[in-house]
Amino acid sequence: MAKPLQTFSGDLLADRRADFAEMLFASGDIEAAAELMRGAMDLAPEWSLGWYRLGEFHEAAGATEGAVDAWRMARELDPADRTGAALKLQLAGAEPQQANPSSGFAETLFDQYAKTFDESLVGKLGYRVPDLLADAIRSHAPPQFDLAVDLGCGTGLMGEKIQPVAKRLDGYDISAEMLKKARARNVYDRLVKADLLEMDYGSDAADLVVAADVFIYLGALERVTRLAAAMLRKAGLYAFSVERHEGTEDFKLRPSRRYAHAEHYVRRVLADAGFHVLSVAIEVIRHDRGAPLDGLIVVARR
């Protein structure tokens, strides 16, 4: 088992320098912050999160080469890449875009985000995906599902919308902290910790599989779409959201370290996995840095 990702280096002087560097960065003195953080890393060279943060300081200062070196060190020290340094390297053009990020990054991100997830997403960003997906499902669905599966269930925001029309509702998520929040909602019959890129489904055939704002943390969707097909009984529904990519690429990693997917790619992946597309709607799914963010709300039938 990997050691927990260290928020602090464990070296008192290094941590003091890092704290002061953060203060300088917050005040806008970015170059001084980077210089001081570099000094902290001389004292704590094994601190992967510190290297990652140094990379962000260099990035903000326009020192791309220094940022790339720091992110490479962060990844070398933590092969599970829980900081997501590989994504930063791809965005900097230092490495080619990969099909998917490390599972360690997603698990760590959501374990840390769980406590404030609902307030941040719904209260501050105007998150609309659960409502949009529930409405789309209703327009194609029977009055009730025997078994619904919530992939990447998070804290259970989507589950609350599905539970009233599901005799049984199962949820799967990579984050143990998110699952704790979902369990407290008391809408799921079964919750399972699972990596969607590695899991094999061995439970009952579902009538509905839904994934709300999950695929923005995946690039390639082929494997998870085959997983959904394996979960569903014939004529079962598959409903999900993605951020919308309008370019020619199948999908694109954005500076937010989330992925956006093209409609042509989504349709092709669904067809290859044996799905018939029922609807694809372009909707504002939330706000990002104050601007509306378009997504695709997709419903398909197996």
Where does the pLDDT of residue 5 fall: very low under 50, low under 70, confident under 90, or very high at 90 and above? low
List pLDDT tens digits, range 115-130.
Answer: 887 777 776 778 899 9
Per-residue pLDDT at 191 exceeds 80: yes
For residue 244, the tally of other CB atoms under 10 A from its CB is: 19
Q: Where in the chain is the domain with CATH 3.40.50.150?
A: 111-301
Q: What is the mean pLDDT of residues 87-92?
A: 96
User: Tokens 């997917």, residue?
Assistant: 261
User: Contact at 8 Å (CB) between 80 and 104?
Assistant: yes
Residue 184 CA: distances (Å) to CA of 11, 44, 62, 147, 190: 37, 39, 44, 20, 12
- Give the residue-averaged pLDDT of 51-62: 96
- What value does the mean pLDDT take over residues 80-98? 94
How many degrees, rounded to 5, is the angle at CA 115 between CA 114 and CA 120? 85
Other Cβ atoms closer than 10 A to 250: 18
Compute CA distances 151 → 102, 159, 175, 203, 284, whole Å.
18, 10, 12, 14, 21
9 or 188: whose pLDDT is higher? 188
pLDDT of residue 1 exceeding 50, the answer is no
Give the pLDDT band (50/70/90) at residue 2: very low
Give the span between the Cα atoms of 54 and 252, in whole angstroms. Answer: 25
Q: How far apart are CA 287 and CA 212, in angstroms?
A: 16
Grade residue 4 by pLDDT with cuts at 50, 70 and 90.
low
> Higher pLDDT residue, 108 or 244?
244
Residues of the chain with CATH 1.25.40.10: 12-96
CATH 1.20.1430.10, applies to 111-301: no
Flag whether pLDDT at 112 surpasses 50. Answer: yes
28 residue type, one letter: G
Query: Is pLDDT at 244 greater than 70 in this prediction?
Result: yes
Q: What is the dihedral of CA 269, 272, 276, 278, to 10 degrees?
A: 10
Q: What is the pLDDT of residue 143?
A: 81
Percent of the chain with pLDDT over 70: 97
Contact status, residue 174 vs residue 113, Cβ threshold 8 Å: no
Radius of gyration of the chain (CA): 21
Contacts of 231 (CB under 8 A, 6+ apart): 149, 201, 203, 205, 206, 209
242 close to 260: Cβ distance less than 8 angstroms:
yes
Lowest mean pLDDT among 147-151, 181-185, 289-293: 289-293
Tokens of 63: 């020192």
- The strand pairing partners of 193, in sequence order, are 173
Q: Which CATH architecture has domain 12-96?
A: Alpha Horseshoe (1.25)
Q: What is the pLDDT of residue 162?
A: 96
Angle between helices 12-27 and 48-60 (to 10 degrees): 20
| Helices vs. strands in the chain: H and E counts, helices first | 12, 9
Polymer length in residues for the chain? 302
CA distance 132 to 129: 5
- Give the list of residues 6+ apart from residue 206 with CB closer than 8 angstroms, or none: 145, 147, 148, 149, 170, 231, 232, 233, 236
Taking only the tens place, the pLDDT of each residue in 258-267 is 999 999 999 9
Q: pTM, whole model, 2 decimals?
A: 0.90
Mean predicted confidence (pLDDT) in 156-168: 96
Query: What is the average pLDDT value for the chain, to the nearest integer?
Result: 93
* Residue 251 pLDDT exceeds 90: yes
Q: Given this model, what pLDDT does residue 3 score?
A: 53
Q: What is the pLDDT of residue 148?
A: 97
Distance linking the first and last C-alpha atoms of the chain: 38
Q: Residue 43: what pLDDT?
A: 96
Q: Looking at residue 200, what is its pLDDT?
A: 87
- Residue burial 206-233, b: 16+ Cβ < 10 Å; e: rest: bbbbbbbbbbbbbbbbebbbebbbebbe
